[in-house]
Amino acid sequence: MAVTSSEPLDGGGGTSFLGENRQRRKPIEMNSVLNAKKATLGIVAAAALGFGGWTAWSEWSAAAKDRLPAGIVSTNGRIEAATVDVASEVAGRVVDIAVREGDRVASGQEVARLDPLSARAEIERSGAEAERARQAVTVAEAMLAAQEAELTFARQEFDRTAALADLDVGSHRAHQQSQQALTAAEAGLASRTAGVAEAVAAVRAAEAALESARIALARTEIAAPVAGTVLYRLIETGAVIPAGGRIVTLLDLDDVTMTVFLPAGDAGRLVLGDEARVILDALPETVLPMTVSFVSPDAQFTPKTVETDAERERLMFRVELRAPADLDERLGGRPVSGLRGVAYLRTDPGAGWPERLATSDATAGAATE
């Protein structure tokens, strides 16, 4: 007969061997989990400290890189190109406008054309007047030649009658008549000479009028006086404009400047013609060489009183930097007028440019640190 016992295997009181092993493993497993968490937290903390250190070092390195050496100051400014109004020198009706806003034009390129009919008609009229005047000169010269011949005959007749009167062969009356004829011939010669001069002057006036008409015809073709970009197209085809009427406005790409403002202490140490550097916000990798072309003698922002040093330091002076003539070529035709950027100027002519402000301009001659 099988005997079933409900007593524990060890004959003891309440905990089995397996239960005791499980209870012993629980603290060991908990310690392992805690150790793993601590290790993970340590790794995370180390990574955070490393990242923070790297970030701080990066910021310090960038700040050190951006730090300017003594004798160089920076300020904000805006690039501006000079504007040129293209206007007509003669009145007329516009028959064609060859450009639109934003177009690039070369110096001498045609931008508009006026109706040439009236100018051509004036050329025809002036040409006819000049030809008539030249014919009048021919007639006046022929009459002068005839008068000279008459004067020669009058002198000969006067000499002949004078000789006869001296010999008591001829009458004194005939001699007096020949004298009167000589006087009249001399007066006639003077008149004919003046007539020739007047006719010649008329020819010159007619030829001048003809040349003026030709110039007026040439001026019906309106060309750009400088190379640049069309900023505004002010009229349309068919408009009638007076002499001096504006047609388009150009940005002169050869006359580009940046205007900045500096405190009195810095502006007073600038040297005209000295080098400057400009970095545009839109082109942060490009360093543009410029020169100091103007320092205003008048403060732009003047406090009510300037009795103290602190107040005098608040005075700001306008400074103009001029770009090189080949700026448009340097930038590959990019439009720059109106762009803002940072200008760097030397208050100490002996200060060297830092490496990040060095340019490839062979004429810059800037030292680098």
- Domain CATH number, residue 139: 1.10.287.620
> CA 107 to CA 81: how far, in whole Å?
16
Q: How far apart are alpha carbons 154 and 177 in whole angstroms?
A: 10
Kindly state whether residue 199 falls inside one of the protein's structural domains: yes
Q: Are residues 295 and 208 in the same domain?
A: no
Residues 6+ apart with CB under 8 A from 235: 94, 97, 241, 245, 246, 247
Considering the domain boundaries, does residue 6 fall inside one? Answer: no
What is the arithmetic mean of pLDDT over 334-346? 88
Q: What is the pLDDT of residue 234?
A: 95
Helix/strand/coil (H/E/C) assignment for every residue in 317-329: EEEEEECCCCHHH
Tell me: pLDDT of 241 over 90.
yes
Task: Report the range out of 121-125, 188-192, 337-341 with the highest average pLDDT.
Answer: 121-125
pLDDT recorded at residue 226: 92
pLDDT at 180: 85
What is the predicted pLDDT for the residue at 361?
55
Decide if 14 contacts 8 (C-beta within 8 A): yes
- Retrieve residue 301's tokens: 């922002």
Helix, strand or coil for residue 251?
A: strand
Q: Write out the two tokens for 327.
A: 């700026």
Q: Are residues 267 and 343 in the same domain?
A: yes
If one compares 258 and 65, the residue with the highest pLDDT of the two is 258
Whether residue 272 sits in one domain with residue 207: no
- Each residue's pLDDT tens digit, 38-90: 656 656 555 655 555 545 444 434 444 457 788 899 999 999 999 999 999 99
Largest CA distance in the chain: 214
Query: What is the tens place of the pLDDT at every residue in 280-318?
Result: 998 888 899 999 999 998 887 655 544 445 555 568 899
Q: What is the CATH number of the domain that holds 292?
A: 2.40.30.170
In-domain check, residue 136: yes
Range of the domain at 215: 116-219
The reply to whether 292 falls in a domain is yes
Q: Exposed/middle/buried for 126, CB within 10 Å: 0-12, 13-18, 19+?
A: buried
- What's the structural domain count of the chain? 2
Higher pLDDT, 168 or 195: 195
Q: Span 178-193, mean pLDDT?
A: 85
Give the pLDDT band of residue 33 (cuts 50, 70, 90): low
Q: Are residues 78 and 151 in the same domain?
A: no
8-state DSSP, 357: G
pTM of the model: 0.60
Buried b vs exposed e over 258-293: b needs ≥16 C-beta within 10 Å?
A: bebbbbeebbeebeeeebbbbbbeeeeeebbbbbbe
